[in-house]
Chain A
Amino acid sequence: MTALRVVIVDDEEPARNRLRELLEDCRAELPHTIAGEAANGVEGLQIVTASEAEVVLVDIHMPQMSGIEFARHLQILERPPAVIFVTAHDRYAVEAFEVNAVDYLTKPVRAVRLLTALKKAATGARLTRGVLESIDPAPRRYFSVAERGRMTLVRVSDVVYLRAELKYVTLRTRGGEYLVEESLTQLEQEFGGVFVRIHRNCLVARQSIRGVERGAETEGEVGWSVVLEGVEEKLPVSRRQWAQVKSLVS
């Protein structure tokens, strides 16, 4: 049996130290190596991607990116690692874990429980986006793009617009463009407060809208376009969405 590659993600140093000690205690029974540890989800994702870890122990309550969002980003990897959540106390999350049969440990963690969870993780069922969303329906703070052994994270607040193209959605920020494999409808549901639909194929960040102007002719009639902060392009507004967009700019 090859050694299991484990990554630890927790914002509190003593908690990481404790998990390391407990893993050490389990080593004789279940060979493993610690592939790395991180103090936040953003670093954690890079470490997991680079090390091709098989199991991640992740705290739920972390600043910047919660453990649940961290797990959601992992799911875009070709071979996502098994995730074991660790929490000091979160009644709601624990209930959701139970309902969805997701493995979790409570702090203080016991070595016996950790061992069982690790053994199960080696064979365990994979998490799905639906399960993670039902545990924490809060919108993500980042979009994630996986490419050649590394993961790029784009802050949701940096995105100016999202446009559907074939099976991908293009994220446009001031600095560049990224492709993500998601559906515009789901994105609209998740980020309804941040983005507004201006067209069948396009969502625009509410705070980036600078105004509207009479645009070029589309589909035989002269329509309106949205002028955006930070990008040159002007995006056409469909007739169906015009009323809503108009109420935002006036």
Chain B
Amino acid sequence: MQSIRQNDLPDALPNFRNLGVMSRILVSVNALALLFALARSREIGEFAAKVTEIAGSLEPILLVVIILLYAGSTLLERLAYVHGLLAVLAIVLAVTAALFPLRTLLGGSGEGRELVWSLAHAALGTGAIAWYFHLRNRAFSPAISEARLQALQARIRPHFLFNTLNAVLSLIRKDPKRAEGALEDLAALFRTVMVDNRQLIALGDELSLCRQYLNLEQLRLGDRLRVDWRLDPAIEEALVPPMLLQPLVENAVYHGIEPGIAPGVIEVRIERRDDRLWLQLANPYHEDYQHRQGNHMALANIRERLKLHFDVEASLDTRIADGRYEIGIAMPYRTSL
């Protein structure tokens, strides 16, 4: 089993500072509470009363737990998955117990038996949510392993490999130094692609991968390929999913530069605005060459991986304006896990 599953994402606690994660917890806990209320009531009137009763004791606990998880998220992330899970459970139980006296205000008896029931419900609820995040993680795993496979295939996209090898061959007799440099770039590119790319990496590393790739394309396309980098100096440390930009740059060359006779410009603009990272990529749009395939696979995969890593806090949009094809990505600016 070990070897078959090695591409699966390892289990990890969700990022409790992510808006999507917080809302998922809020919504699912409340949904559980509603179900519970429904099961405990025999008629409609009773249901409303039950909901009010449960909400009264549940919501304060939920809010405090979410605030604590938000505050402690960096500490929790350092723990192994199982330890982290136990820590979360401990927090939930502690908060439930601490807020238990509130129940007497709402007409509870305050008896020991009721405390035990509350703790049991809290533990069950926590277990259910943990199970939900575990399943969600599993559901996205194929996207990650597929990304790796696809990246591999993309890099070994025969079109790119053979054309590059051909260009390198053309240099060997006349300009052996440049040929050496090109082969080094090619080796570096392949090495990066073949390593495990499940974890987030520094944007600076992704950018140097893009530069190595573009060096190779420059070799054969010469003046036709122009790249306009507009990089905020403060973004090198930002963490991004690996192979976030490179496939997009490759698409830009394939769809935007190769079909044109006149030189074309690929514009890469990356900036940080407060706690958000904005990436924009634009290339010439050739309407006549839209039958060349390969674009949508890469886009769909990047979208899925952004969703996995950043949930609702990341977005990817494309548009065609003034004869240029533009991709915009917005995601949280983070420098540590």
B163 contacts chain A at the CB level, 8 A cutoff:
yes
Indicate whether B4 reaches chain A with its CB closer than 8 angstroms: no
Contact, CB under 8 Å: A89 / B162: yes
Q: Residue A88 contacts which of B163, B219, B291 (CB distance < 8 angstroms)?
A: B163
Smallest CB separation, A22 vs chain B (Å): 9
Q: Which residues of B contact A31 (CB under 8 A)?
A: none
Provide the A1-34 mask, 1 if CB < 8 A to any CB of B, else 0. 0000000000111110110010000000000000
Chain A residues in 8 Å Cβ range of B288: 141
- Give the distance in Å from the alpha carbon of A14 to the alpha carbon of B169 in the complex: 9
Residues from chain B with Cβ under 8 Å of A21 in the complex? 170, 173
* Contact of A63 with B261 at beta-carbon distance under 8 Å, contacts A14-B219, A89-B162, A106-B162 already known: yes
Q: Which residues of chain B come closer than 8 Å to A61, judged between CB atoms?
A: 258
A147 shortest CB reach to chain B, Å: 25
Nearest-neighbour CB distance to chain A for B253, whole angstroms, equals 13
A1 to B282, CA, bound (A): 54
Report, as a range, how many residues of chain A touch the other chain. Answer: 20 to 34
Given A15-B170, A21-B170, A88-B158, answer yes or no on A108-B259 (Cβ-Cβ < 8 Å). no
Q: Which 5 A-B pairs have the closest CB atoms?
A: A89-B158, A18-B170, A14-B170, A88-B162, A14-B167
Contacts of A150 in B (CB 8 A): none
Q: Is B165 interfacial (CB-CB < 8 Å)?
A: yes
Q: B166 near A15 (CB under 8 angstroms)?
A: yes
Closest chain B CB from A203 CB (angstroms): 21
Within 8 A of B (CB), among A79-138: 88-89, 106-109, 138
- Given A12-B221, A15-B220, A63-B259, residue A108 in contact with residue B159 (CB < 8 A): no
Residue of A nearest to B222 (CB): A13
How many Å lie between the Cα of A192 and that of B259 in the bound state? 24
A63-B258, A88-B166 given; A12·B220 CB < 8 A: yes
B291 surroundings in chain A (CB, below 8 A):
138
State whether the Cβ of A64 lies closer than 8 Å to any Cβ in chain B.
yes
- Contact yes or no, A18 B162, CB < 8 A: no
The docked-state distance in angstroms from the alpha carbon of A106 to that of B163 is 10
Q: Does A14 lie within 8 Å of B261, measured CB to CB? A: no
Shortest Cβ distance from A42 into B: residue: B261
Q: Report how far A108 CA is from B168 CA in the complex, Å.
A: 10
CB contacts (< 8 Å) of A14 on chain B: these are: 166-167, 170-171, 219-220
> Contacts A17-B170, A88-B158, A108-B166 given; 9 further ones with Cβ under 8 A?
A15-B170, A61-B258, A63-B260, A88-B159, A88-B163, A89-B159, A89-B162, A106-B162, A107-B162
Residue A40 at the chain B interface, CB threshold 8 Å: yes
Question: Contact: A107 with B259, CB < 8 Å?
Answer: no
- With a cutoff of 8 Å between Cβ atoms, the chain B residues found around residue A109 in the complex are 166
Assess the A108–B222 pair: CB atoms within 8 A: no
Interface size class of B (residues with CB under 8 A): 20 to 34
B158 x A108 contact (CB < 8 A): no
Determine the distance from Cα of A88 to Cα of B171 in the docked complex, in whole angstroms.
Answer: 17
Residues of chain A within 8 A of B169, CB atoms compared: 18, 108
* Residues in B lying within 8 Å of A, measured CB to CB: 158-159, 162-163, 165-167, 169-171, 173-174, 219-222, 258-261, 288, 291
What residue in chain A is nearest B223 (Cβ atoms)?
A13
Inter-chain contact A108/B165, CB cutoff 8 Å = yes
Across the interface, which residues of A come within 8 angstroms of B219, CB to CB? 14
What is the bound-complex CA distance between A18 and B163, given in angstroms? 11
Minimum CB–CB distance from A40 to chain B (whole Å) comes to: 6
* Residues from chain B with Cβ under 8 Å of A39 in the complex: 261
In the complex, what residue of chain B is closest to A15 when comparing beta carbons? B166
**Bound CA span A89–B157, Å:** 9
Q: Decide yes or no: A108 and B258 within 8 Å by CB, A13-B222, A18-B170 being known contacts.
A: no
Tell me which residues across on chain B come within 8 A of A106, comparing CB atoms: 162
Q: Do A15 and B167 touch across chains, with their CB atoms under 8 A apart?
A: yes
Q: Once bound together, how far apart are the Cα atoms of A156 and B260, in whole Å?
A: 18
The distance in angstroms between the C-alpha atoms of A109 and B165, with both chains bound, is 10
Q: How distant is the Cα of A138 from the Cα of B308 in the complex, in angstroms? A: 41
Contacting B at CB under 8 A, from A162-183, are: none
* B158, B166, B222, B291: most-surrounded residue (chain A CB, <10 A): B166
Question: A148–B166 Cα gap in the complex (Å)?
Answer: 38
B162 near A64 with CB under 8 A, answer no
Closest chain-A Cβ to B295's Cβ sits at a distance in Å of: 17
State in angstroms the CA–CA spacing of A89 and B164 once bound together: 12
Query: How far does the Cβ of B287 sit from chain A's closest Cβ, in whole Å?
Result: 12
- Residues of chain B lying within 8 A (CB to CB) of residue A108: 162, 165-166, 169
In Å, the complex CA distance between A178 and B258 comes to 32
Residue of B nearest to A87 (CB): B162
Chain B residue numbers with a CB within 8 Å of A15 are 163, 166-167, 170, 220
Q: What are 16 sample pairs from A and B whose C-beta atoms fall under 8 A apart?
A: A12-B163, A12-B167, A12-B220, A14-B166, A14-B220, A15-B167, A15-B170, A17-B174, A18-B166, A21-B173, A40-B261, A88-B162, A107-B165, A109-B166, A138-B291, A141-B288
Q: What residues on A are CB-neighbors of B220 within 8 Å?
A: 12-15
Q: Which residue of B lies closest to A16 (CB)?
A: B170
Q: Write out the residue numbers on chain A whose beta carbons fall within 8 Å of the beta carbon of B166.
A: 14-15, 18, 88, 107-109
Q: How far is the CA of A107 from the CA of B173 in the complex (A)?
A: 17
A19 and chain B: residue at smallest CB distance: B170
